Amino acid sequence: MVDAPLALLAELTHRCPLRCPYCSNPMELARAAAELTTAEWARVFEEAAALGCLQVHLSGGEPTARRDIVEITAAARAAGLYTNLITAGVLLDAGLMERLVAAGLDHVQLSVQDADEAGAERIGGLKGAHAAKARAAALVRAAGLPLTLNAVVHRQNLHNLSALVERALEWGAARLEVAHVQYYGWALANRDALLPTRAQLDDATRVVEAARAAHKGRLVIDYVVPDYHATRPKACMGGWGRRFLGVSPAGNILPCHAAESLTGLTFPNARETSLAAAWADSPAFNAFRGTAWMPEPCRGCERREVDWGGCRCQAFALTGDVAATDPACSLSPHHGLLQAAVEHAGGEAFRYRQYGRAR
């Protein structure tokens, strides 16, 4: 029997005014006409709560690009879910903030691309975005909501990591997520420009450890390291289909937010299947649960129920085999792919994510 998922990631839309080169959305983006309606999302939230989810992350793309974001937030709150808005902040104004709070919003997670305006606007591809984020942070704090800053870090902004910590303090965040890029989808297409050196990673780790000590009790810092310098894989999302449940803008029910990058799996859709049925009975959700699916060396490894074979999306992206041992593991026959990528990385040019097309 599989335990209930703890949280639901509701990807409300793929639309976003930013064009971040590490975007976790699929390479093929869902159009607005395909998105779940307000009423459909309300039903999804009720099913999530009945299944045992405690919180919902309202995400995208940019969730505030939905004209019904207030109604969606209210529906999530009515279902009894703790509501977290994951936003770039560039569309958030005082009026919308007030309506979201009245609708029952509990928390805001604000993305930042860099500590300074020039770097942030080059990475995000939108002029004026950095100043808009500062205003959004002030609105969140003025509304009395807790604020988390999410800083995706990589080769081209790690030199500003100390400044990103200061920015989190300046903007009144209680938590900072320092998340190294994970390489699939758009990030894989931009890997050479994003992948840090080992020296950069070591410096970043020292900065995080020092900041944790210096700001203990004031700022919590979460730290996600890149797999490309690892010798053991992470338990991606706590293990496939074990803790995480996502719903895409078009209603596909997913065990991982990047799962649509995998070929050969058919995911149930919320317009046709309940979340409970998808979670318990879907062949896609059950494909990589437990250990029976594992090849060697995973099957005989003492860590098989610790890392659960690592990331399926990363394994597929690098080897073409969704059931392969994650190359992040030093025991994987494909581990050399990561070292080769580190050695090859360099350059500054991005291939930008853009709604409707890529360039």
Residues within the annotated binding site?
16, 20, 23
Q: Which helix (H) or strand (E) holds 311?
A: none
**Beta pairing partners, 148:** 109, 175
Closest CA to 164 of 208, 206, 195: 208
Closest CA to 129 of 17, 25, 22: 17
Q: Is the dihedral angle over the CA atoms 344, 349, 350, 356 positive or is it negative?
A: negative
Torsion angles phi and psi, residue 255, rounded to 5: -85, -5
User: Phi/psi zone of residue 205: left (φ > 0), alpha (ψ -120 to 50 degrees), beta?
Assistant: alpha
Residue list, annotated binding site for [4Fe-4S] cluster: 16, 20, 23
**Tokens read off for 72:** 């969606």
Q: Are 287 and 265 in contact (CB under 8 A)?
A: yes
User: Phi/psi zone of residue 268: left (φ > 0), alpha (ψ -120 to 50 degrees), beta?
Assistant: beta
User: Phi/psi zone of residue 239: left (φ > 0), alpha (ψ -120 to 50 degrees), beta?
Assistant: left
- Residue keyed to tokens 């309940």: 274
HSE at residue 116, side-chain half, CA atoms within 13 A, is 10
Q: Are 261 and 317 in contact (CB under 8 A)?
A: yes
HSE at residue 261, side-chain half, CA atoms within 13 A, is 25
| Cβ neighbours of residue 111 closer than 8 Å, sequence gap 6 or more | 86, 87, 88, 89, 133, 149, 150, 151, 152
Closest CA to 327 of 189, 201, 225, 230: 230
